[in-house]
Amino acid sequence: MSKLVKDLLRLKSHSGIQQTEKMPSLTSDIVKTATEDNVTNNKRPFIVSIEGNIGSGKSTMLKYFEKYNDVELIPEPVAKWCDVKGHNLLGKLYEDPKRWSFQFQSYVQLTRLQLLKKPTDCSVKIIERSIQNNRFCFLENAKKEGSLCGAELEVLFSWYDWLDNNLGIPLDLIVYLRTTPDVAHNRLKKRGRKEEAGVPVEFIEGLHQSYEDWLINQKQGPPPAPVLVLDANQGVEKMLETYEMFTEEIRGRKPYTPEKDTNISLGKSVKSS
């Protein structure tokens, strides 16, 4: 096994190590996070969200951009989701979605906001999935599956609307790592994360369709930022070549030109209005 592949396999576990902390108060912690951000950050970084199904290669993309000093990488805080004062919310979600979806999505929304608003000295932030992803992909998927009831959805929708209207949750570019459900599910099984052991292919298929509806079909309206869609069914080496092709755009050093991706298999670009 090459050193690159070994590094990729270690990325998720290394980047997910965070200090265990008590479950915060949702309202007070959101206000505190926003206040600190406004005081310390007069100029915000260029923010890129990596979007894609489970097993689409988001960690591989993060690993590629690790070499740039002006880029701060923000992996999903999986360690936090697996240990909320000893409670594994991610594990509980997969075991009983109808019982735990509301708690899980509430906490995910908070932790994503904390990471988005955390001050940085870097000019670029690359985040693994976004708050917008929760609203327009995962919540819509839960709605279709029936794992969240109407009242629960309305609470989470209201929280999102308030954050968007009052705090600002900006994105400058979305990179959609587009995979077919069977490829994503096979990768999920190979990596062997215990919380994901029982995830059925039907869940992957539903999540794939939710991504398509959000970023390709735009059923929720125009995406919040320009969308670069890449064929992520390809192997690691080919994906690294693709990231090299779009490095300047992803680092915000030059404008993204959608026409550039026309020679990428399954590649497609979507402009926000």
Active site residues per annotation = 128
Exposed, middle or buried by CB within 10 Å (0-12, 13-18, 19+), for 201? middle
Residue 232 to residue 235: CA distance in whole angstroms: 8
Exposure on the CB side of residue 9, measured as CA atoms within 13 A? 11
